[in-house]
Structure 1
Amino acid sequence: MSHYYTNDEIESRPTIIHFDYQGHSIGFHSDRGVFSKDSVDFGSRTLLDTVNLEGVKSVLDVGCGYGALSISLKMVYPDIAFDMVDVNRRAMELAKRTIEDYHLEDMRVYESNAYENVEKTFDMIISNPPIRAGKNVVTTILKESYSHLNKNGRLVIVIQKKQGAPSAKKCMEEVFGNAEVLKRNKGYYIIQSIK
C-alpha cells in the first residue's frame, strides 16, 4: 500500500486545488500520492488562520507537501524567506510548480527527512506533521526543531487531539520549557513553543 509520506510510484492524475487565503486566490498543483490531494485540509487552514508572522524573516516548513502552508503565507508575507522540506518527491515537484506559477522568490524546496538536510536556523518552524508516518517521526520533528530555531524562534504545529495533541504538547514542553495551545478547532490543536 502506498502512503503520501513515501516515494512509491502511483499513477499520476494532476489537478489544481483552488484556495482563497486573505484576499489571495491560489491554485495549488496536486496529484495522487500526496496528502490532502483534493483540498487544503482543515488542520492546515486552522494553522493558517492562527499563526502570527509579525517580526519573522525566515520560516521552515517541515513536511511541506504540495506547499499549502508556505505558499499561502508567502502570498500574504512576500518579504519572508521560506524553506520547504519533505520526503515525498512528487509533493515537492508540485510545490515547485505552484511557486513558479506565481513567480515567488526566496522559496527553497528540497528533500529532507525532518531536519536531515537542513543547514540553517529560522525564526519560525511550521508543520502539519505526517501523523501516519508514526510517532517517532512526529517526535523527531518536535525535538529536533529546537536546534534549527534562532533565539526567540517559534515552533508552530497543527495536530488533532485524537492523533496525539496532548503528548505532542508535553514533548514540546520538555524540549522548550514551554508550549501553548493557541487555538482549538473541532479537535485540531495549534500548539506553539518559543526558544
Structure 2
Amino acid sequence: MSTKTHYFSEEPAGDFATKPLTVELTADKVQVLTAPGIFSPGGVDKGTRILLDEAPAPEGTRLLDIGCGWGPITLTLAMLAPEAQVYGVEVNPRAAQLTQMNAERLGLNNIRVSSPQALDESLTFDTIWSNPPIRVGKEVLHEIMQTWLPRLSPGGNAYLVVQKNLGSDSLQKWLVQTFPDLETSRYASSKGFRIIRVHRP
C-alpha cells in the first residue's frame, strides 16, 4: 500500500467531504466534523479514549498534542485547561484543518494548529498528550519522540498511549535508554494499551 493512502500522509486521498459526528470528549457530548483520509474518521479511537479517561488533568500554560488528527486530544486539552495555550501538530493538512474547524465550532479560542515544521522551535511544553502514529515505523516514530520530548518544560509531563501488541514496552525501554535526563515509567494499563509517562524533573 502506498503511504499516500495512509492517514499520516501529507497528501490525503479522496475528496475532502466533511461529515458531522457526535462524540464524548470530556463529560459532555459535542458535535465535530470528520472526513475521509484521516486517522479514525468514525469517532474517538480506543487508544485515544483510554488516554482521555486515564491521564491526569493537564497542568501548565503550554500544552501539546503530537499528531492531532481531527482533534479529540487537542479539543479536550483546550476544554480542560481554558487558560492554557494548546498546540496541535499534524502532518496531514486535512486533519489539521478539521481540528481548526472543530475548535471554531466549539468556541475554543486557545488552540493553535500547525504542521510540526511551522511551530516555533523555542517553545517548550508543560504537558504533552499523544496517541503517536505507531504505524509510521520505528525510525519515524523515534524521530518524532526525539523532536518533541526534549521540549518538555522543567516539571513537565508527557503521556503517550500505545497498544501493547504494537510495541509499547519496547518503546518505553527505548525512551529510558534515549532520554536519561527524563524519567520514563508506565502510568497505566487498560484494554491492551499502555500509557507511558515521561517526566522532566
- Do the structures match in fold with TM over 0.5? yes
- AA aligned to 1:146 is L
How high is the sequence identity, in percent, across the aligned residues?
30
Further displaced range: 80-89 or 172-181: 172-181
Give the superposition deviation at 1:89.
0.3
Correspondence list, 1:1-195, <5 A: 1=2, 2-6=5-9, 7-53=11-57, 55-112=59-116, 117-119=119-121, 120-174=123-177, 175=179, 176-195=181-200
Q: Is the 8 A contact 1:112 1:118 kept in 2?
A: no
- Aligned alpha-carbon RMSD (Å): 1.7
Q: Is the 8 A contact 1:143 1:172 kept in 2?
A: no
Give the superposition deviation at 1:53.
2.8
- AA aligned to 1:194 is H
SS of the residue 2:29 aligns to = strand
SS of the residue 2:6 aligns to = coil
SS of the residue 2:87 aligns to = strand
| CA offset digits 1:132-179 (Å, max 9, x no partner) | 211112112223323211111112101011111011111221214422
Further displaced range: 46-55 or 86-95: 46-55
Uncovered stretches (5+) of structure 1, i.e. residues with no partner: none
Further displaced range: 153-162 or 45-54: 45-54
SS of the residue 1:158 aligns to = strand
| CA offset digits 1:70-128 (Å, max 9, x no partner) | 10222232122101101000000111110111121121000126xx7442101012211
* In structure 2, C-alpha distance between the alignment counterparts of 1:54 and 1:112, rounded to whole Å: 21
- AA aligned to 1:122 is F
SS of the residue 1:179 aligns to = strand
* In structure 1, C-alpha distance between the alignment counterparts of 2:57 and 2:66, rounded to whole Å: 16
- AA aligned to 2:108 is L
* In structure 2, C-alpha distance between the alignment counterparts of 1:122 and 1:43, rounded to whole Å: 22
Change (3 A) 1:54 1:35: closer
TM-score (norm 1): 0.91
